Chain A
C-alpha cells in the first residue's frame, strides 16, 4: 500500500514512519507539511492511503481532503489529531477514520485494515463540527487530473455564467463548477455581491464610477476591468467604497 504522511511537525512524521515500518508498511511514498503540499503530492505520487493531520498552517487536513474529492480514485484517508473536542463525535458518527495523538500502534494497525475513501458529505459534517475554520482557504480547479489551488485572498471576483463561475485573480482566470449562491454564503465576510451574477473581494474594491449610460461600475485594484453594479446592490456597494 502506497502511503503519504502529512503533518506539519517533523517529529510527528518521523513517529508515523517508525510505527508504519514496525507494522510492515514500508511503501511510504512521501511526506507533506501542509494541506496544499498534500494535494500536490497526492496528484503526482498517487498514494493509496493518506495519513493526514488536521491542524496545519496554510491549509488544514480537512480542506485538503475536500479538494481531493475531484480527482480520479481519491486515496483512502485516516485523519490524525491531537485534540478536537467537537470533531471526534462527528468522526464517529460519519464513520471517518481518525487517530488520536500520541498514536498507538494497535490503533494504527486496526485503522490501516479498515481504511476507506471519504465522501464530500462525510467531510462536510466533520468540518462543521470541528474547531477549524468554516470557509476554505483555497478554491480548487480540476483540470485533466491536475488540481490548481487559488488562495481565496488572491481572488478579485467571481462571475457566474450559466453553469460555470469565472474566478479572476490579478494574473489568472479559471472556470469552476460551483454555485455563486454557495460561494457568497461561504465567503460572506470577504466578498460582496455587486450584481446578480458577480461577487467582488472587498479587499480589492477601489471605487465606483458612472459611465455615460448612467450605470454604476466598480473599480478594482490590480485589474483595469470594471464590473457593472446592479441598481439593487448600489447602496451596499457605495457603503463599502466609502469606508
Chain B
C-alpha cells in the first residue's frame, strides 16, 4: 500500500509568509525621524512654496514679480532651514508621542516657526530695507504663512514616511532571511555536534579537527545565498560532510549507501536541495530508532535529467509518534526547484511499508 505522506503546498507557505510579514510590519511602528536629511528636503519645500505663492500672485502681474519670487525664495529658505533645526531639536520629544500627536505637534511647530519668522521679516527687514517681502501684514500674509508651513510639512512627511517604510521593509526582509537560515539549521543537530566535538578534542584531537572542518564547511554553505546555483558535485560533497558529522554522533546507528551512475560533472543545481532531505531522513528515520538503519541514496542521470532517490527506514510504531513532519524543508526545496527549472523538476515522497522514499528530479543545466 502506498500512502502519500507529504503533499506539497507551496501556496500554503506563501500565505504563511505573507501573514508573517504583515505581522512584522504591524509591529514596526513607522515614525518619521526628523533628524534624517530634513534640511535638504526643506530647501526643496522652500522652492516649492515660493513657486506656489508667486503663482497665486500672477493675477497681479507686474515687473516686480521676479523680485517678488526671489524675495519670497529667500524668506522661504530661511523658514525651511529654521524648520529643519526646530524639528531636529524637538525630535527626541516628538518620538515619544503617539503617531497622531507626533504629526499634530510637528505641524503646530512648523506653523509657529513660520509665523515668527514671517513676523520678524515683516517688522524688521521690511521696514528697514523697504522690501515688500510679505506685503501688508494682512490676512493675505496669514494665508501665505499657512501655505509655506503646510507645503513644508507635507513635503517633509511624504519623504520621511517613504524613508521609514523602506527601512521597515529592509528590516523585515532581513528578518525573513534570518528565519530562513534558522529553519535550515536544526539547533539540536548544531549543538549536539558541538558537544561531540568538545568531547573528541581530548580523546581524539585529529578526529575533532576533521569534524570541526566539516562543520565549518557545512555552516559556510548554509549561510551562503541559497538562491545561488552550485555544481551538483559540490552539493553532493556538502551532503557527505553533513552525514559524516551525523555519523560521529550516531555511530553505528547510522549507515549510508551511495549509488551513483553517470552524474554529469558540469550539472548545476540550486544549493541545498539534497542536504536538507538527508537531514530529514536522519531526523525522522534514524535518530528516533533504537537500532538505527541505512540511508540509501541512489543517483542516476541521462542526457536530459537527473533523478535522486533517498530511502530511509521508518522507526517502529511506538518510536515514531514524537517526530512531527518537517514540511518546511520539503516546501522550500520544491519552491526553489520550480523557480529554477520550472515544471521539468519535481520533488515527491511516499511511504512504502516501513520505508520512506523521497524522489527528486531535475533537468541537467550546464551553464549558469
Task: List chain A positions with a Cβ less than 8 A from chain B.
Answer: 9-12, 14-15, 18, 34, 55, 57-58, 60, 82-83, 85, 100-103, 132-133, 135, 137, 151-153, 203
B290 touches A58 (CB 8 A): yes
B200 touches A11 (CB 8 A): yes
Give Cα A203–Cα B318 distance, bound, in whole angstroms: 12
A58 in complex: contacting residue of B199, B248, B249, B319, CB < 8 Å: B319
Q: Is B32 an interface residue (CB 8 A)?
A: no
Q: A15 and B195 in contact (CB under 8 A), knowing A57-B290, A58-B290?
A: yes
Give Cα A217–Cα B302 distance, bound, in whole angstroms: 60
Q: Is B99 an interface residue (CB 8 A)?
A: no
Please give, as numbers and ranges, the residues of chain A lying within 8 Å of B195 by CB-CB distance. Answer: 9, 11-12, 15, 82, 101-103
B188 in complex: contacting residue of A83, A103, A135, A151, CB < 8 Å: A83
Please give, as numbers and ranges, the residues of chain B lying within 8 Å of A60 by CB-CB distance. Answer: 322
Please give, as numbers and ranges, the residues of chain B lying within 8 Å of A15 by CB-CB distance. Answer: 195-196, 198-199
Q: Is B187 an interface residue (CB 8 A)?
A: yes
**Minimum-distance CB pairs A-B, first 5:** A15-B199, A133-B322, A82-B191, A101-B195, A83-B187
B315 touches A57 (CB 8 A): yes
Question: A12-B199, A101-B194 provided; 16 other pairs, C-beta below 8 A?
Answer: A11-B199, A11-B248, A12-B192, A12-B249, A14-B199, A14-B203, A15-B199, A18-B203, A60-B322, A82-B190, A83-B188, A101-B192, A103-B195, A137-B319, A151-B318, A152-B318
B317 touches A153 (CB 8 A): yes
Measured CB to CB, the closest approach of chain A to B74, in angstroms, equals 62
19 contacts across the A-B interface (CB closer than 8 A): A9-B195, A9-B249, A9-B251, A11-B196, A12-B192, A12-B196, A12-B249, A15-B199, A18-B203, A55-B188, A57-B289, A82-B191, A82-B192, A83-B191, A101-B195, A102-B195, A135-B321, A152-B318, A153-B317
Give Cα A85–Cα B319 distance, bound, in whole angstroms: 22
Q: In this complex, what residue of B is CB-closest to A137?
A: B318
Please give, as numbers and ranges, the residues of chain A lying within 8 Å of B194 by CB-CB distance. Answer: 101-102
Q: A82 and B318 in contact (CB under 8 A), knowing A11-B196, A11-B199?
A: no
A132 touches B322 (CB 8 A): yes
A-B contact count (CB 8 A): 76
Give Cα A15–Cα B188 distance, bound, in whole angstroms: 17
Within 8 A of A (CB), among B174-220: 187-188, 190-192, 194-200, 202-203
Write the B158-186 contact mask toward A (1 if CB under 8 angstroms, else 0).
00000000000000000000000000000
B203 touches A101 (CB 8 A): no
Please give, as numbers and ranges, the residues of chain B lying within 8 Å of A153 by CB-CB distance. Answer: 316-318
Q: Is B250 an interface residue (CB 8 A)?
A: yes
Q: Is B279 an interface residue (CB 8 A)?
A: no
Please give, as numbers and ranges, the residues of chain A lying within 8 Å of B318 by CB-CB distance. Answer: 58, 137, 151-153
Q: Is B83 an interface residue (CB 8 A)?
A: no
Give Cα A36–Cα B318 distance, bound, in whole angstroms: 13
Please give, as numbers and ranges, the residues of chain B lying within 8 Å of A103 by CB-CB distance. Answer: 195, 198
Q: A18 and B202 in contact (CB under 8 A), knowing A82-B191, A101-B191?
A: yes
Q: A133 and B321 in contact (CB under 8 A), knowing A14-B203, A101-B192?
A: yes
Give Cα A34–Cα B287 distance, bound, in whole angstroms: 12
B251 touches A10 (CB 8 A): yes
Please give, as numbers and ranges, the residues of chain A lying within 8 Å of B315 by CB-CB distance. Answer: 57
Please give, as numbers and ranges, the residues of chain A lying within 8 Å of B196 by CB-CB distance. Answer: 9, 11-12, 15
Q: In this complex, what residue of A is CB-closest to B189?
A: A82
Please give, as numbers and ranges, the residues of chain B lying within 8 Å of A151 by CB-CB distance. Answer: 318
Please give, as numbers and ranges, the residues of chain B lying within 8 Å of A58 by CB-CB distance. Answer: 290, 318-319
Measured CB to CB, the closest approach of chain A to B162, in angstroms, equals 37
Measured CB to CB, the closest approach of chain B to A66, in angstroms, equals 15
Give Cα A143–Cα B250 distance, bound, in whole angstroms: 35
Q: Is B288 an interface residue (CB 8 A)?
A: yes
Q: In this complex, what residue of A is CB-closest to B200?
A: A11
Please give, as numbers and ranges, the residues of chain B lying within 8 Å of A10 by CB-CB distance. Answer: 251
A11 in complex: contacting residue of B190, B249, B288, B316, CB < 8 Å: B249
Measured CB to CB, the closest approach of chain B to A89, in angstroms, equals 16
Give Cα A82–Cα B191 distance, bound, in whole angstroms: 5
Please give, as numbers and ranges, the residues of chain A lying within 8 Å of B199 by CB-CB distance. Answer: 11-12, 14-15, 18
Give Cα A82–Cα B192 distance, bound, in whole angstroms: 6
Write the B290-322 contact mask toward A (1 if CB under 8 angstroms, else 0).
100000000000000000000000011111011
Choose among A15, A57, A103 the residue with the greatest number of B CB atoms under 10 Å from its CB.
A57
Q: In this complex, what residue of A is CB-closest to B207?
A: A11
B319 touches A9 (CB 8 A): no
Q: In this complex, what residue of B is CB-closest to A138?
A: B318
Give Cα A9–Cα B286 distance, bound, in whole angstroms: 13
Please give, as numbers and ranges, the residues of chain A lying within 8 Å of B250 by CB-CB distance. Answer: 9
Measured CB to CB, the closest approach of chain B to A69, in angstroms, equals 21
Measured CB to CB, the closest approach of chain A to B208, in angstroms, equals 10
B290 in complex: contacting residue of A11, A34, A55, A101, CB < 8 Å: A34
Give Cα A34–Cα B292 distance, bound, in whole angstroms: 13
Give Cα A226–Cα B200 distance, bound, in whole angstroms: 57
Give Cα A33–Cα B121 distance, bound, in whole angstroms: 87
A100 touches B191 (CB 8 A): yes
Please give, as numbers and ranges, the residues of chain B lying within 8 Å of A132 by CB-CB distance. Answer: 322
Q: In this complex, what residue of A is CB-closest to B318?
A: A153
B198 touches A82 (CB 8 A): no
Q: In this complex, what residue of B is CB-closest to A152?
A: B318
Please give, as numbers and ranges, the residues of chain B lying within 8 Å of A137 by CB-CB distance. Answer: 318-319, 321
